[in-house]
Amino acid sequence: MTGASRGIGRAIARAFAEKGDRVAVHYASNQEDAERTFGGLPGSGHGLVRGDLSDPEVAQRIAEEAEDLVGGVDVLVNNAAFAPSPASAHPVAEVSYADWQRLWRRMVDVNVLGTANVTYCVARHMIDRGVPGRVVNIGSRGAFKGEPEFPAYGASKAALHSFGQSLAVALAPHGIAVTSVAPGFTATDRVAIKLEGESGEALRGQSPFGRVGTPEEVAAAVLYLASAEAAWASGAILDLNGASHLR
């Protein structure tokens, strides 16, 4: 479970632990939050794995450690991402060329290459062990509608959706199912500021439910896609946005 220290990742880790699974809680550097996630998980046999996914050797080490910690990874949830913050905005008309380069590189290195590398390593273990594994990618609605303030982020999520579809076909003969979810705005600490004032009104107004999504709602969808019953969903990209895209 990559990026499980906080937010959506924490909710997903908790959902798996509540159903009795052992969870390898991965994080990049935020040890305090990672330990809070880890310490709050019900059950036993969970592990903590630290590492920056943008380094290919670290991504490989993360996969190996996770295998050892939980005795074989049957479900990989690719949740970690260099996700938008005011400091990482890069609208083309405003950002310097140097920052444009830096932010694109980081988004691609973490969100695309990092995810691809850890997935490669875990999938090879699944194939070797002959388990009907599951890979669930946390994509984004931004991959479909564009992210004018964060174009590299939107593109990285579109790449993730496409990667998931390629893998779904390539891994089906091994009994491994690969899916993605595409959440709309989801209330995590990282984006809490956006829920205040007028921007909060606008975000809630996107859905006919008049609210934004919760990490627990993303976790519930991931739990289904990771289940034995979801093999036939392989290749799917599941919209999770309270029908916002239909307005």
Catalytic residues: 153
Q: Which of 80, 113, 159, 203 binds ligand NDP (CB under 6 A)?
A: 80
Give the nearest distance from C-beta 126 to ligand NDP in angstroms: 21
CA 21 to chain centroid, in Å, comes to 18
Q: Which of 191, 195, 236, 237 binds ligand NDP (CB under 6 A)?
A: 191
What is the C-alpha separation between 76 and 65, in angstroms, rounded?
A: 13
Residues 94-133 close enough to bind ligand NDP by CB under 6 A: 110, 114
Residues 39-58 close enough to bind ligand NDP by CB under 6 A: 52-54
Helices (H), 108-196: 115-129, 142-145, 151-171
Under DSSP, the state recorded for 138 is E
Under DSSP, the state recorded for 213 is B
Q: Which is nearer to ligand NDP, 82 or 163 (CB)?
A: 82
Q: Residues touching ligand NDP: how many (CB under 6 A)? A: 30
Torsion 91-181-191-111 (CA) sign? negative
| CB contact set of 3 (below 8 Å; sequence gap of 6+) | 9, 26, 27, 28, 79, 80, 81
Give the nearest distance from C-beta 73 to ligand NDP in angstroms: 16
Helices (H), 26-130: 31-39, 56-70, 97-107, 115-129
**Is position 176 an interface residue for ligand NDP (rule: CB under 6 A)?**
no
Give the nearest distance from C-beta 19 to ligand NDP in angstroms: 20
Residue 56's nearest CA partner among 2, 103, 119 is 119
**Is position 244 an interface residue for ligand NDP (rule: CB under 6 A)?**
no
Task: Give the interface segment with ligand NDP, choosing from 28-36, 122-130, 161-169, 222-230 (CB under 6 A).
Answer: 28-36
Q: Which of 117, 119, 165, 188 binds ligand NDP (CB under 6 A)?
A: 188
- Strand partners of residue 9: none
Looking at the chain, how many residues does it have? 247
Give the nearest distance from C-beta 85 to ligand NDP in angstroms: 8
Under DSSP, the state recorded for 51 is -
Task: Give the interface segment with ligand NDP, choosing from 75-83, 169-177, 199-207, 223-231 (CB under 6 A).
Answer: 75-83
Binding site for ligand NDP (CB under 6 A): 3-9, 27-30, 33, 52-54, 79-83, 110, 114, 138, 140, 183, 185-186, 188, 190-191
